[in-house]
Amino acid sequence: MKVIVVKDYNEMSNVATDIMYDVISNKPDCVLGLATGSTPEGLYANLVALYREGKLDFSKVSSVNLDEYYPLAPENDQSYRYFMNTHLFDHVNIDKANTYVPNGLAQDPEAACKAHEDKIDELGGMDIQVLGIGQNGHIGFNEPSDNPIPFTHMENLTESTIKANARFFESEADVPTRALTMGIQSIMKARKIIILASGKSKAAAIKATLKDEPTPRCPASLLYSHPDVTVICDEDAYSLC
């Protein structure tokens, strides 16, 4: 994995923006693999700014998202569909019909997972996948496990993830305990992967990803075998390496 260590969150967002800018400019009909959470907010704000300056065109772009809480309606302001609309899609000229977030209200979640995986394949895989990283090393909602499920599936969230995400909800009890998520092998379908990390709370996960033996107990470390992964982290996130 390539590693870029930067000073702070803003620099992390700027480096990620430059990489995304190149992908979208060089291939106007590219497929973006997108992530939610606090980490990519700066990146999305930068992309919106570039669009407003006339420097980026999303009209032919498609996107697939990593994950979605289950069960949660897309209109719920904690859903990842809502996040993507409000942080990116509503502000650029992407055709929302070409944006795919797993269906958090699917009657048949297994079928919804298969449909998401099929969509990734139909689109020919992602040109770039953006990832944050959980404090426990999760990517998407692939939690530490001895037997990771390779493709899009339902995942039970760990206590650490529920606690970490409670800040977005009124209380911890409101955080859904399950999610639909791409698997590690779904993520590996991307031709290029960037992992973004900022802050001391991510330092242990970044160390486990970059310095320790790859293990499904730290899902991000399993990306070691992918040929084009760049970890962009700030000094705090890199501080245990």
Q: Active-site residue numbers?
A: 67, 136, 138, 143
Q: How far apart are CA 76 and CA 47, in angstroms?
A: 24
Applying CB under 6 A, which part among 21-29, 33-41, 49-57, 97-105 lies near ligand PGA?
33-41
Q: Please, which residue, 117 or 143, has the CB nearer to ligand PGA?
A: 143
Q: Please, which residue, 98 or 135, has the CB nearer to ligand PGA?
A: 135
Of 9, 31, 37, 220, the one binding ligand PGA (CB under 6 A) is 37
Best CA proximity match to 67, nearest among 13, 131, 123, 127? 131
Is 78 an interacting residue with respect to ligand PGA (CB under 6 A)? no
Question: Which residue in the shown chain puts its C-beta closest to ligand PGA?
Answer: 37
Q: What are phi and psi of 183, to 5 degrees?
A: -90, 180
Exposed / middle / buried, residue 97 (Cβ in 10 Å: 0-12, 13-18, 19+):
exposed
Is 38 an interacting residue with respect to ligand PGA (CB under 6 A)? yes
CB of residue 113 to ligand PGA, shortest distance in Å: 19
CB of residue 162 to ligand PGA, shortest distance in Å: 11
Q: How far apart are CA 181 and CA 235, in angstroms?
A: 29
Is 229 an interacting residue with respect to ligand PGA (CB under 6 A)? no
Q: Which of residues 137-176 bind ligand PGA (CB under 6 A)?
A: 138
Q: Please, which residue, 133 or 231, has the CB nearer to ligand PGA?
A: 133
**CB atoms inside a 10 Å sphere around CB 77:** 9
CB-based contact 63:47 (threshold 8 Å): no
CB neighbour list of residue 216: distance below 8 Å, 6 or more residues apart = 144, 145, 146, 147, 148, 222
Q: Which of residues 95-134 bind ligand PGA (CB under 6 A)?
A: 132-134
Instruction: Give Cα 23 distance to the centre of its chain.
Output: 16
End-to-end CA distance of the chain: 14
Task: Quote the tokens at residue 114.
Answer: 């298969």
Q: Please, which residue, 38 or 78, has the CB nearer to ligand PGA?
A: 38
Is 33 an interacting residue with respect to ligand PGA (CB under 6 A)? no
CB neighbour list of residue 14: distance below 8 Å, 6 or more residues apart = 6, 46
Task: Quote the tokens at residue 119.
Answer: 């969509």
Q: Please, which residue, 35 or 61, has the CB nearer to ligand PGA?
A: 35
Q: Please, which residue, 38 or 98, has the CB nearer to ligand PGA?
A: 38
CB of residue 122 to ligand PGA, shortest distance in Å: 26
Is 39 an interacting residue with respect to ligand PGA (CB under 6 A)? yes
Applying CB under 6 A, which part among 19-27, 35-43, 116-124, 229-237 lies near ligand PGA?
35-43
Residues of the shown chain interacting with ligand PGA in the complex, contacts defined by CB under 6 A? 37-39, 132-134, 138
